[in-house]
């Protein structure tokens, strides 16, 4: 997996934006300083349109989509310089990183689901 230029990467598999992927993307972006880059690897083609629009609405920077030779897309997202600070629910959480990646399992363990 190529992660050059990205501080963090997540493997989104075939998750849709609203089908669990945002639960991975949001805490991953919170780990980054403004300007830091997250790589989102995905085989879900709907993300090609959904992720840039979500980034625009959330004031993150959708940088580019790279097509890999392993048939997944690699989306590069920069944390917006003027994005809002995380909420209380996510504060103080330190997600473990495994060779520059975080796992869905760790995210789900660390962040309580809303009531």
Which residues of this protein are in contact with other proteins, per CB under 8 A? Answer: 15-20, 22, 46, 49-50, 53-54, 56-57, 59, 82
C-alpha to C-alpha distance for 3 and 10, rounded to whole angstroms: 10
Kindly provide the residue ranges of all beta strands, DSSP E only, lying in the chain, ordered along the sequence: 8-11, 37-42, 61-67, 73-78
Q: How far is the CB of 80 from other proteins (least distance, A)?
A: 9
Query: Phi and psi dihedrals of 58, rounded to 5?
Result: -95, 5
Query: Phi and psi dihedrals of 56, rounded to 5?
Result: -60, -45
Q: Which is nearer to other proteins, 8 or 12 (CB)?
A: 12
Q: How far is the CB of 2 from other proteins (least distance, A)?
A: 27
Q: Which is nearer to other proteins, 49 or 64 (CB)?
A: 49
Q: How far is the CB of 99 from other proteins (least distance, A)?
A: 28
H-helix or E-strand spanning residue 52: helix 47-58
Q: Which is nearer to other proteins, 2 or 49 (CB)?
A: 49
């Amino acid at each position: 997996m190529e992660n050059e230029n990205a501080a963090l990467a997540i493997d989104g598999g075939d998750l849709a934006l609203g089908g669990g992927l945002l639960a991975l993307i949001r805490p991953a972006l919170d780990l980054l300083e403004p300007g830091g880059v997250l790589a989102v690897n995905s085989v879900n083609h709907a993300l090609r349109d959904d992720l840039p629009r979500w980034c625009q609405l959330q004031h993150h920077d959708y940088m580019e989509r790279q097509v890999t030779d392993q048939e997944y897309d690699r989306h590069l997202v920069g944390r917006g310089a003027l994005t809002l600070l995380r909420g209380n629910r996510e504060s103080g959480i330190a997600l473990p990183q495994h060779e520059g990646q975080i796992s869905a399992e760790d995210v789900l363990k660390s962040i309580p689901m809303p009531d």
